[in-house]
Amino acid sequence: MTPAGPPEAARILVIRRDNIGDLILTTPLISALRRARPKAWLGALVNAYNAPVLDGNPDLDAVFRYQKAKHRTAGETAAGVYLRRLALLAQLRLQRIDYAVVAATGETERAMRLARWCGARQIVAFAPGRAGDTHIAALEDGHEVTRVYRLGEPFDVAPSPPPLVLRPDANAVAAAAAKLGAASGPLVALHISARKPSQRWPEGNFIALGRQLIERHGARIALFWAPGDATNPHHPGDDAKAAAVIAALPALPVLPFRTEHLAELIAALSLVDVAILADGGAMHIAAAFGKPIVALFGDSDAARWAPWGVTHRLLQHPSRQVADISLTEVLAAFQALLHSGLASAGA
């Protein structure tokens, strides 16, 4: 069933509880909803981990964030996390939501439950819901942006998705700019972390790549990684890997950028000229800023998760292991970006 003409002043809540990249790839849907219903109240319900993606988003009237128990910090209890979530849901019920748009293309049960608990009068989702809800037929293939964009059909959104939207915090940008400094040569982001083992490139490859980029192209390297210890069960990090890369490139223009907070990563990536990194949240952040990208793909669907809306070179080995992508292939992909004229003229 399709809503019978959602009113111009409807109260619409978009729910996306997944990772950073998933939320970034949902911003075209949010923009399209705003354009289709300029008088509507438009909010978003996201988790505290990915919420900075929506900071400063011009299309939203409100952003509600809840914390997942697995993301709780030291000293926080699971019970406390769930009590705060109940308080948030009570606050959302007071908003009198007309439509909850469940922007989930994978597992939807938990997001559907949130939509029901917030008291939405009607749910728009790929999963079947209650009588009177709107069930949208999901695409079996295609990019994640176009998949999730189908949820806007009941609201008469434009046929094609608008661009990704990401607004860096001005203070964080100023701090990042001061840390990165100003010098000649392209500023190349190397992000050495990846959540999935199949997406990880060995530190020796990053060391050799950094040296080649500096020697051949006069590049400056902005080195990014997930902070923390690799043995941390909740938030594993790559401090040791980063230290090894930095130690192997002494007296060279390598700028370590340990990002404790997502806002810092967003701000710093807005300043680079080119990004070389594995499929993941940082890749989609760079794409949202229009950066040319060399994307390293492991065991993931490249057609679905490729950088959206930017020139890129996507590398994926038949083994579907990033570790099997050669240094030569990455350097050739970077060189191709330079030849395309999209990287800094300082190269």
> pLDDT tens digits for 102-136?
998 877 888 898 899 999 999 999 988 888 889 99
Same domain, 310 and 228: yes
Domain that holds residue 223: 170-339
On whether both 141 and 275 belong to a single domain, the answer is no
Amino acid at 178: A
255-304 pLDDT, tens digit per residue, is: 999 998 999 999 999 999 999 999 999 999 999 999 999 999 999 999 99
Q: Do residue 212 and residue 287 come from a single domain? A: yes
Residue 344 falls within a domain, yes or no? no
pLDDT at 74: 57
Shared domain for 144 and 181, answered yes or no, is: no
In a domain, 5, yes or no: no
Closest to 99 (Cα-Cα) out of 163, 25, 28, 5: 5
In this predicted model, what pLDDT tens digit does every residue of 230-242 receive, in sequence order?
A: 877 667 789 999 9
Instruction: Single out the residue in 125, 155, 185 at which a domain terminates.
Output: 155
H or E, element range at 208: helix 203-217
Indicate if 239 and 272 belong to the same structural domain.
Answer: yes
Rg (CA), the chain: 21
| pLDDT of the residue at 1 | 40
Whether the CB-CB separation of 12 and 123 falls below 8 Å is answered with no
Shared-domain flag, residues 294 and 175: yes
CATH number of the domain bearing residue 277:
3.40.50.2000
One domain for residues 328 and 207: yes
Domain count, the chain: 2
Q: Which of 211, 220, 189 is nearest to 292 (CA)?
A: 189
Residues 133-164 pLDDT 10s? 899 988 889 999 999 999 999 999 999 999 99
Is 165 part of any domain? no
pTM, full prediction: 0.92
